[in-house]
Amino acid sequence: MERILTLNIGATRLALAEFEVRPGRGPALLRYTFGELPEGAAESPDTFGVELEQALRGMMAAAGIRPGRILVALSGQMAFPRFVKVLAEDGEKMREQIRFEVEQNVPFPLSEAIWDDALVGQPDAGEQHVMIVAARAELVQAVAKGLLNAGCEPELVDVAPVALYNAVRFNYPEAEGCTLIVDIGARCTNLVFVEQERIFYRTIPVAGHTITAEIAKQFGLSLEEAEHLKCTQGIVAQGGAFAVDDPDVDRLSKVIRTVMTRLNAEVTRSIAFYRSQQEGSAPARVLLSGASAQLPYMQNFFEEKLQVEADFLNPFQAVDYPRDVDADQFGRDAFSLPVLVGLALRRGLTCPIEISLVSQEIVARKAFRKRIPFFAIAAAGLIAIVGIWLAYVGAISARLDEKVALAEEQVSAFGNLQRRYADADKKAKAAEARVEAYAALLKTRTEWLALLRAVDEAIPNGPWVNSLSAKRDGETLQGLNLSVCVWKDIEPRLSAPGKTIDETVVANLAKQEVFAQDAKNIPISKKTQTPWMTSFDITATLRAAEAQAQPKAAGRSGRRARR
């Protein structure tokens, strides 16, 4: 059995249902439940997802509904509708016109919006009616986040008035003329005009909470007490000489009628707008839904005001529901279920109007889920290939084992020769090391004499060497550290033209065969001057050490070039 969850998100109330999906047929209701949201929850997208998740988890646990794929409807207050006309042209040109209308009519930046559109009815006089619905992206994303955290994957995000339209079209297929749905919720009333393939709707901020607030004001009660009084004793007063024996109930009925009269004024204006601007017909009937539509005499009130037949919307005329439920309780709850039925129709059937305000993240998740079967086939093919390869490798491995055994026998035969050669090679290397050591000792006999002679030739008569030490890298002689002093009065005549005495000494050292040939490699690490004497320290690098450093520097440069 394939199942689907549907969720109607109102301002303060949630309705959740589980349906069995039957392709090509209407869905069957399995179970349903209701929940509450904190006051003004949807006005704070940052926390709305968390509150929705908590409420949804509690509802599923209470009703025994397992998480799964879910279809969502936003309240009419959470989405912005606009009905426009565009020229009936080919697809691409019409899409450009629709996008232009969206940019002109949506009251917030498109970068912050998620929107969709639907063609309404057939082209008339070269024009096509289009319905545009937009919602704030942050709100839709908060809803999706809350659902995902609760374990439910959203497949689409609809709006309640469109779901109502689809529910009526499915359950009242033979209705002729214009049908007006008056869906009286907690915070708003949805007025949905259904006329064959055409739809028009408005959301009015006069609903059940408005009645409760007016009762609390007139009777001096809290909102909770006023809500209880409305639900237990409230009726809609009728016109003329209508009166109730109980004066409190009579007064209550007149308060409710006052609010309903305000709502009726909005209904009348909406009908006039629909007929004049949308070229629609006057309603031939009224269908009532929503929890607040249960008030006694509500049906009579609209028949009196609109002078047309009024009835209660039955979303289960063509949709199955559990037969073992409490009939009275289900009859009361059915007022709040039409939106859930309209959502469920989207899963197994093609509906007349289809809107989906899903974010790009949800679209990507759905696309990935559709690819999962292909991934499974690819994985099975890969496993088969790996199996064939392993069988091949096993056969080759057996042949290789035979060759390895033969090779090991041959290696063993040459083992003694290898050990004898290794011993001889070890002795030869030891002898070479002793020869090199003796050669190094012989070389050092004359090395220092050459260094001192080069220093003596580089320093002119007059300056004196205050200290001389070897610069080593481990055991290897790299150069000499010299500390040279000269009297201030003889310094000018001892210096080369254009140079100071220290620069003269450095240049002379660079000319010596044993030292670095580039004066830049003979740095002056310290220079001190007094009124009577100049002293400076020099590190004279040996030419042999400089030659050893150059290949290393060249290797690093080459690696940088290749990178």
How confident is the model over 503-534, as pLDDT tens digits? 888 888 888 888 877 777 788 887 888 988 99
CA atoms within 13 A on the CB side of 95: 4
Strand partners, 33: 16
Q: Is residue 222 part of a domain?
A: yes
Residue 397 sits in the same domain as residue 475: no
**pLDDT tens digits for range 316-332:** 999 999 988 898 899 89
Q: Is residue 407 part of a domain?
A: yes
Rg (alpha carbons) of the chain, rounded to whole number: 47
Residue 399 sits in the same domain as residue 538: no
Per-residue pLDDT band at 361 (split at 50, 70, 90): low
**pLDDT tens digits for range 147-163:** 999 999 999 999 999 99
Nearest to residue 279, comparing CAs of 173, 198, 201, 204? Answer: 198
Least confident of 112-121, 365-374, 402-411: 365-374
Given a cut of 70, whether residue 107 has pLDDT beyond it is yes
Determine the structural domain holding residue 509 and report its residue range.
Answer: 446-562
If you average pLDDT over residues 211-223, what whole number do you get?
Answer: 95
Q: Is residue 440 part of a domain?
A: no
Provide the CATH number for the domain around residue 42: 3.30.420.380
* Residues sharing a CB contact under 8 Å with residue 412, sequence separation 6 or more, in sequence order: none
Residue 216 sits in the same domain as residue 332: no
CA–CA distance, 434 with 545 (Å, rounded to integer): 23
Residue 186 sits in the same domain as residue 269: yes
CA–CA distance, 158 with 160 (Å, rounded to integer): 7
CA atoms within 13 A on the CB side of 345: 27
User: Identity (one letter) of the amino acid at 165?
Assistant: Y
Query: Domain boundary at 427, 457, 487, which?
Result: 427
Nearest to residue 42, comparing CAs of 133, 143, 147? Answer: 143
Residue 90 sits in the same domain as residue 233: no
Given a cut of 80, whether residue 556 has pLDDT beyond it is no
Nearest to residue 291, comparing CAs of 36, 503, 550, 44? Answer: 36
CA–CA distance, 336 with 186 (Å, rounded to integer): 11
Given a cut of 50, whether residue 258 has pLDDT beyond it is yes
Provide the CATH number for the domain around residue 194: 3.30.420.40
**Predicted local distance difference test score (pLDDT) of residue 390:** 83
Per-residue pLDDT band at 367 (split at 50, 70, 90): low
CA–CA distance, 497 with 488 (Å, rounded to integer): 17
DSSP string, 5-43: EEEEE-SSEEEEEEEE--TTS--EEEEEEEEE--TTGGG
Residue 194 sits in the same domain as residue 251: yes
- Look at the pTM and tell me if it is higher than 0.75: no
Torsion of CA 106, 108, 111, 117, to 10 degrees: -20
Strand partners, 239: none
CA–CA distance, 50 with 148 (Å, rounded to integer): 11
State both tokens at 366: 């759905």
